[in-house]
Amino acid sequence: MSITVIGAGLAGCEAAWAAAQQGVPVTLWEMKPEKYTPAHHSPRFAELVCSNSLKAKRLESAAGLLKEEMRRLGSLCVPVALACAVPAGGALAVDRDAFSAAVTEKICSHPLITVKQGEVTAIPTDGVTVIATGPLTSEPMAEAIAALCGGGLSFYDAAAPIVTAESVDMSSAFRASRYDREESGEGDYINCPLNKEEYEAFREALVSAERAPLHEFDRAEGLTVYEGCMPIEVLAARGGDAIRFGPMKPVGLRDPHTGHRPWAVVQLRAENAAGTLYNLVGFQTNLKFSEQKRVFGMIPALKNADFMRYGVMHRNTFLNAPTLLDGAFRLKSRPQLLFAGQMTGVEGYMESAASGLLAGLNAVRQVKGQPPLILPRDTMLGALSAHVSDENAHYQPMGANFGILPTLDTHIRDKKQRYAALAQRALDSLAQVMAEMPETLPPVDNVKEE
């Protein structure tokens, strides 16, 4: 028996790879290039849209722990991301094009994965299927899912602008990573400082700038903007220091031109391996393109910035997962149907990929008539799976964070040491599960912290 996976984003690719690596044939459907969502432009798989950052690498970070759990479970995306990394301090940021191309090549060359192009408009009724069509699921499939599941939750997502490196005025900027955390030796971020007067003028212009119309989205009921991708202008409207304590925080930085910490700072992170493109970190926006050029041009270092992509905003749709899914990402009413990715309410690229990985492993177990793999709650992926499936009347999307893990038996005051202990407990717990299920999971190797 084979498995069908619908959608070749990060979650779908992980699901297909996990199943094929277990020896089960997979048919992977992708509607690109026949049809694109409003946010996607490349015909390749695993296209990154909102950011090129896959968050922290450190094992004592929630994001780093999740990636290590994924790596041990046989992830496709984690090793590819490491191979396509660009300098980003303690974060794992990738060259988007290289990452997508590498994932596409690996999927297309796998002997047990058959790729079919075209839009799937109905949910298959036979066999085991993983639906990973993403938060921008096409309308026919979204309607089919809504009919099956009784509707979903709508949110909004936004992407940040990208500028050329050569157009940044380095006489008004400096290279550094916060607290000197860097890998390249010259500072992995370009920092664009503002003094108090410049910041206040910028914030005022940002709040009053004209926003792009949302077209049909304007008519959507119950508009919710998820905190993880909050447009910078929405955040700025919350108060005078909202963005200075958020994406423009100057903490951990010192301007070598003045010898002092800036009043506020905009960080630019490498968008590609060549270092020719940089994105404005945390500057997701829905301003009109002309307004973006005008307002962001008020940042001294970006006064002559050449924008290669302006910020955009688009709709994301999520299932009411706690009422529909179990901890294996299976539909409670129909276990042969699994869901994965951001549409389940896991927030973030790696979180989406991780859900696809677990869904793929459970699809195999479903085919083989084995009980589902539900990871312990003291692992990061297990905790995310529990968040998706636990009863919750006020369900919201969730990314990896240590707050969703059970507390340690002994309280550790030092935060770094506490997070390290939580990470070690998680990996020990995962190792035990993997040792008990050798027929399904790859063997644990000698792991070294990255």
**Sorting pLDDT into bands at 50, 70 and 90, what band is 395?**
confident
State the residue range of the domain holding 398.
Answer: 3-152+319-436
Classify residue 445: in a domain, yes or no.
Answer: no
* 81 and 114 inside one domain: yes
For the chain, give the percent of residues with pLDDT over 90.
73
110 lies in the same domain as 168: no
Give the pLDDT band of residue 221 (cuts 50, 70, 90). very low
Same domain, 207 and 266: yes
* Residue 443 included in any domain: no
Q: Do residues 171 and 303 both lie within one domain?
A: yes
Instruction: Considering only residues 106 and 215, tell me which one the structure prediction assigns the higher pLDDT.
Output: 106
Which of 290, 315, 340 is the last residue in one of the domains? Answer: 315
For residue 331, what are the contacts with CB-CB under 8 A and spacing of at least 6? 148, 149, 324, 325, 337, 338, 339
Handedness of CA 90, 96, 97, 99 (dihedral sign): positive
Model pLDDT for residues 257-299, shown as the tens digit of each residue: 999 999 999 999 988 888 888 999 999 999 999 999 999 999 9
Q: Are 69 and 47 in contact (CB under 8 A)?
A: no
Once rounded to an integer, what is the mean pLDDT over residues 128-155? 86
Number of domain units in the chain: 2
Same domain, 168 and 289: yes
228-264 per-position pLDDT tens digit: 678 999 999 999 999 999 999 999 999 999 999 999 9
Dihedral of CA atoms 242, 243, 246, 250 in degrees, nearest 10, equals -120
pLDDT tens digits, one per residue of 84-97: 999 998 899 999 99
Question: Which of the listed residues 267, 284, 315 is the one where a domain comes to its end?
Answer: 315
Q: In angstroms, what CA-CA distances link 295 with 172, 173, 182, 302, 331? A: 17, 17, 29, 10, 46
Q: What is the pLDDT of residue 151?
A: 66
Write down the pLDDT at residue 449.
Answer: 39
Q: What pLDDT sits at residue 182? A: 54
| Residue 408 domain flag | yes
For the record, the structure tokens of 39 come out as: 């946010």
Higher-pLDDT residue of 301 and 152 is: 301
Q: Tokens in use for 211?
A: 């926003």
Q: Which 3 state secondary structure label does DSSP give 347?
A: coil
The reported pLDDT for the residue numbered 222 is 41
Indicate if the pLDDT at residue 160 is higher than 50: yes
| Contact predicate 385/327, CB 8 Å | yes
The number of CA neighbours under 13 Å toward the Cβ of 151 is: 2
Is there a domain that residue 417 lies in? Answer: yes
Residue 440 backbone zone (phi > 0: left; psi -120 to 50: alpha; other: beta): alpha
- In this prediction, residue 313 has a pLDDT band, given cuts at 50, 70 and 90, of confident
Q: Are residues 145 and 202 in the same domain?
A: no
Q: Percent of the chain at pLDDT above 70? A: 90
308 and 283 in a common domain: yes
The whole-number pLDDT of residue 98 equals: 96
Say how many C-beta atoms besides its own lie within 10 A of residue 171's C-beta. 9
Could you tell me if residue 450 is inside a domain? no
Weakest mean pLDDT among 107-111, 207-211, 274-278, 332-336: 274-278
Residue 89 and residue 30 share a domain: yes
pLDDT at residue number 450? 37
Same structural domain for residues 304 and 165?
yes
Question: pLDDT-based confidence at 375, cuts 50/70/90?
Answer: very high
- For residue 246, give the amino acid letter: G
| Higher pLDDT, residue 69 or 437 | 69
What's at 114, amino acid-wise?
Answer: T
The reply to whether 331 and 308 lie within a common domain is no
At residue 153, the pLDDT reads 60
The residue among 181 and 241 whose pLDDT is bigger is: 241
Which CATH number fits the domain that encloses residue 139?
Answer: 3.50.50.60
Using the 3D structure, point to which of 315, 335, 363 is the last residue of a domain: 315
In a domain, 342, yes or no: yes
d(CA 448, CA 450): 6
Q: Does residue 341 surpass a pLDDT of 90?
A: yes
Structure confidence at residue 421 (pLDDT): 97
Whether residues 396 and 349 fall in one domain: yes
Domain assignment present for 448: no
Give CA separation, 42 vs 21, 36, 37, 100, 303, in Å: 26, 9, 10, 9, 30
Residue 442 domain flag: no
Its pTM stands at: 0.81
**Mean pLDDT rounded to a whole number for the chain:** 90
- Here the CATH number for the domain that contains residue 164 is 2.40.30
Mean pLDDT, to the nearest integer, of 205-228? 66
Q: What is the pLDDT of residue 219?
A: 41
Instruction: Locate 111 and state its tokens.
Output: 């002997």
pLDDT for the residue 38: 73
Instruction: Indicate if 235 and 371 belong to the same structural domain.
Output: no
